[in-house]
């Protein structure tokens, strides 16, 4: 028996392509911050070279060390020749211009990573927490996996190209979500537009800052292998979204895509509350051999769905169960499922429960019901 919730059966069917964001990025996700729901996905679970976007993990490790008392913002860490040569002015890469054999405050190093994408700052942190960058990279991978970021594999603290340095766009979005949610006391660093160190003034490369209202993070990335990418976030009217994309072919294309994708993330997608746990469903299910002819149905859990606003018109919601349901039935038994169908997406299913107990008929009642069933020929 298949029962349809007529109030939610929607028959219009414009082209599915109109109901999805379109991007030239090779990998992209849009995530709702509050629920963690993925609103848009293009190769989002595929491990990719993240370039400097992987510095989110270096920063998270630093923030956790501060939280756990292993570091403080005022600690001064030594700048080794290795950090200077491979990440400082001598390297020709992104740098906060630390001087060899100097010492730098942890707070300055955080700004150097977040605002200036300083490879030297990353290596200083790595050597302080791991003893070497290689050991720290192993720590990064282990911690990422412990946090459920299964695609993550880090070979260094900087995002420097390496065949074993990979993470998916979806895991980068979840990593950003953790930083925002778990470390609010230092999150404001991500929105700072510039930082001057050793008399050298550098600007945050995040193209959303100062351009898109509500944008306050997080990190760009670029190598020849990865193309141009961004982990970005913005909050408007209490709604925060996180975007991740990679593979753009220029800095200009990244800036354009960042603004376009964030606008879509805020304006074009919504979280729809379809049911609350315990909501009654119609129709009631017929019962076979029961003391009652029908049993009420209810939703087992809150049902939320993240959709492009236009895709909402194509959604169908069905209550599916094999009926009549044989007695006895206990309240809370799983007897069916709610099926949510949206063209172009995988179906979502949620358990349906019996709302009350229904006992089995006595012997004579079962005999009479069986005879009636035979007479009807059902």
Helix, strand, coil share of the chain (percent; to 5): 35, 30, 35
Contact criterion met (CB below 8 Å) for 127 and 80? yes
CATH class of 2-12+273-376: mainly beta
Q: Over range 282-305, report the average pLDDT.
A: 85
Q: Which of 311, 353, 306, 307 is nearest to 333 (CA)?
A: 353
pLDDT of residue 317: 87
pLDDT of residue 376: 58
Q: Over range 110-137, report the average pLDDT.
A: 97
Looking at per-residue pLDDT, the higher value among 166 and 343 belongs to 166
Phi first, then psi, for residue 276 (nearest 5°) are -110, 150
pLDDT band at 290 (very low <50, low <70, confident <90, very high): confident
Residues linked to residue 54 through DSSP beta bridges, in sequence order: none
pLDDT digits (tens, 9 = 90+) for 209-249: 999 999 999 999 999 999 999 999 999 999 999 999 999 99
DSSP H stretches of helix in the chain: 55-67, 81-87, 106-114, 119-130, 133-146, 169-182, 251-267, 363-376
Contact criterion met (CB below 8 Å) for 73 and 108? no
Q: Which of 130, 144, 148, 143 is nearest to 70 (CA)?
A: 130
Q: Give dist(CA 38, CA 51) in Å, integer.
A: 22
Straight-line distance from the first to the last Cα atom of the chain, in angstroms, rounded to the nearest whole number: 14
- DSSP letter at 328 equals P
**CB-based contacts of 57: which residues, under 8 Å, 6+ apart?**
140, 143, 144, 152, 154, 167, 175
Asked whether the predicted pLDDT for residue 18 surpasses 70, the reply is no
Tell me which range, 12-21, 137-146, 367-376, is most confidently predicted by mean pLDDT: 137-146
pLDDT digits (tens, 9 = 90+) for 304-342: 878 888 877 788 888 888 878 888 989 888 988 889 888
Contact criterion met (CB below 8 Å) for 336 and 319? yes
Asked whether the predicted pLDDT for residue 3 surpasses 50, the reply is no
pLDDT of residue 75: 97
pLDDT of residue 372: 55
pLDDT digits (tens, 9 = 90+) for 186-209: 999 999 999 999 999 999 999 999
pLDDT digits (tens, 9 = 90+) for 51-87: 999 999 999 999 999 999 999 999 999 999 999 999 9
Domain ranges in the chain are: 2-12+273-376, 22-267
pLDDT, averaged across the chain? 89
Contact criterion met (CB below 8 Å) for 333 and 354? yes
Name the percent of the chain lying above pLDDT 70: 90
The tokens describing 268, both together, are 């074009």
Cα separations in angstroms, 248 against 55, 114, 116, 228, 257 = 19, 21, 21, 5, 8
pLDDT band at 365 (very low <50, low <70, confident <90, very high): low
pLDDT of residue 377: 57
Location of structure tokens 């929105």: 191
Domain 22-267 fold:
Beta-lactamase (3.40.710)
pLDDT digits (tens, 9 = 90+) for 264-281: 999 999 888 888 888 888
pLDDT band at 10 (very low <50, low <70, confident <90, very high): very low
């Amino acid at each position: 028996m298949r029962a349809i919730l007529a109030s939610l059966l929607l028959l219009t069917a414009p082209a599915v392509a109109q109901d999805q964001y379109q991007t030239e990025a090779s990998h992209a996700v849009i995530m709702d911050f509050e629920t963690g729901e993925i609103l848009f996905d293009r190769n989002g679970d595929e491990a990719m070279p993240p370039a400097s976007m992987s510095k989110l993990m270096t920063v998270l490790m630093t923030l956790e060390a501060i939280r756990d008392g292993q570091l403080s913002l005022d600690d001064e860490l030594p700048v080794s020749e290795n950090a200077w040569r491979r990440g400082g002015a001598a390297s020709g890469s992104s740098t906060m211009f630390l001087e060899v054999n100097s010492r730098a405050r942890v707070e300055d190093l955080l700004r150097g990573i977040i605002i200036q994408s300083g490879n030297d700052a990353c290596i200083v942190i790595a050597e302080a927490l791991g003893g070497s960058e290689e050991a720290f990279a192993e720590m990064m991978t282990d911690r990422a996996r412990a946090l459920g970021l299964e695609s993550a594999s880090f070979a260094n603290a900087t995002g420097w190209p390496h065949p074993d340095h990979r993470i998916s766009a979806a895991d980068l979005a979840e990593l950003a979500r953790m930083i925002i949610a778990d470390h609010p006391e230092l999150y404001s660093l991500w929105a700072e537009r510039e930082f001057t160190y050793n008399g050298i003034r550098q600007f945050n490369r995040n193209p959303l800052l100062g351009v898109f209202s509500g944008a306050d993070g997080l990190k760009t990335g670029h190598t020849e292998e990865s193309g141009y990418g961004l982990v970005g976030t913005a909050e408007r009217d209490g709604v925060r979204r996180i975007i991740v994309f990679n593979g753009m072919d220029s800095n200009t294309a990244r800036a354009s895509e960042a603004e376009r994708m964030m606008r879509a993330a805020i304006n074009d997608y919504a979280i729809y509350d379809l049911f609350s746990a315990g909501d009654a469903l119609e129709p009631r299910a017929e019962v076979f051999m029961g003391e009652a002819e029908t049993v009420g149905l209810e939703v087992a859990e809150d049902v939320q769905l993240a959709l492009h606003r236009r895709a909402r018109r194509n959604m169908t919601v069905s209550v599916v169960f094999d009926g009549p349901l044989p007695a006895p039935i206990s309240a809370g038994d799983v007897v069916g499922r709610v099926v949510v169908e949206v063209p172009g997406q995988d179906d979502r299913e949620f358990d349906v429960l019996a709302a009350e107990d229904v006992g089995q008929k006595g012997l004579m009642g079962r005999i009479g019901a069986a005879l009636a069933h035979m007479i009807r020929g059902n």
